[in-house]
C-alpha cells in the first residue's frame, strides 16, 4: 500500500514538472506582451511565419474559435488579439494574448497565456499554448 502511494506521488510530481515546461521561444525581437509573473500559471512562445501579418492574425482568430475561446477581441491599431478562456466547472478566466510584428520578410507571432487567479494552473496554460501552436502551424501551412 505504501509503495502504491509513493508511486502516485512520484507520478504527480513528474506530471507537474513536465507540464510546466515552456515552449521554445525565438528571441528575434522584443516581445510586446507583458512578462509572465513569477508563478507557473503563465506560458509564452514566439513563432515565426513566412506569411504576412493579416494571414497570421486571421489564422489565429480561426484557431481560437476552434479552441472555444470564451471571447475574442481584435486590436487592429496594435495588431493584437486578446482572447479569454473560461475554465469549466470553476469558471476561472485565463487571458490568451497574441501580438504580431514583422521582421524583414517574416512575421513574428508572440503568444502569452496566463491565469487571472491563483498560483498554480496544473499546466493548463502551457498545454493551451502548445495546442494553439500546433493548430496555427497546420492552419497556415494549408
For residue 33, CA distances in Å to 43, 54, 75, 99, 114 come to 12, 19, 13, 7, 11
User: What is the C-alpha to C-alpha distance for residues 13 and 68, in angstroms, rounded to an integer?
Assistant: 29
User: What is the C-alpha to C-alpha distance for residues 28 and 97, in angstroms, rounded to an integer?
Assistant: 19
Percent pLDDT > 90 in the chain is 59
- Please report which confidence band the pLDDT of residue 7 belongs to, taking 50, 70 and 90 as the band edges: very low
User: What is the C-alpha to C-alpha distance for residues 55 and 82, in angstroms, rounded to an integer?
Assistant: 17
Q: Is the pLDDT of residue 18 over 70?
A: no
Number of Cβ atoms within 10 Å of the Cβ of 93: 14
- Please report which confidence band the pLDDT of residue 15 belongs to, taking 50, 70 and 90 as the band edges: very low
User: What is the C-alpha to C-alpha distance for residues 23 and 109, in angstroms, rounded to an integer?
Assistant: 13
Quote the pLDDT of residue 29.
62
Quote the pLDDT of residue 1.
54
Whether the CB-CB separation of 63 and 83 falls below 8 Å is answered with: no
- Please report which confidence band the pLDDT of residue 32 belongs to, taking 50, 70 and 90 as the band edges: very high
Domain boundaries, the chain: 22-141
Q: In sequence order, what are the beta bridge partners of 103?
A: 106
Mean of per-residue pLDDT scores for the chain: 83
* CA count, 13 A, side-chain hemisphere, 132: 33
Pick the CATH number of 22-141 from 3.65.10.10, 3.30.420.10, 1.10.10.60, 3.30.530.50: 3.30.530.50
Q: Is the pLDDT of residue 135 over 80?
A: yes
Quote the pLDDT of residue 28.
44
Amino acid at each position: 500500500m505504501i509503495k502504491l502511494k509513493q508511486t502516485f506521488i512520484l507520478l504527480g510530481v513528474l506530471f507537474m514538472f513536465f507540464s510546466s515546461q515552456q515552449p521554445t521561444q525565438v528571441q528575434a525581437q522584443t516581445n510586446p506582451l507583458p512578462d509572465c509573473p513569477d508563478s507557473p500559471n503563465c506560458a509564452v512562445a514566439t513563432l515565426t511565419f513566412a506569411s504576412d501579418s493579416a494571414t497570421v492574425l486571421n489564422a489565429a482568430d480561426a484557431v481560437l474559435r476552434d479552441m472555444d475561446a470564451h471571447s475574442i477581441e481584435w486590436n487592429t491599431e496594435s495588431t493584437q488579439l486578446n482572447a479569454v478562456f473560461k475554465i469549466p466547472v470553476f469558471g476561472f478566466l485565463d487571458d490568451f494574448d497574441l501580438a504580431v510584428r514583422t521582421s524583414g520578410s517574416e512575421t513574428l507571432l508572440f503568444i502569452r497565456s496566463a491565469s487571472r487567479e491563483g498560483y498554480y494552473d496544473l499546466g493548463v496554460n502551457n498545454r493551451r499554448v502548445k495546442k494553439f501552436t500546433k493548430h496555427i502551424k497546420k492552419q497556415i501551412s494549408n
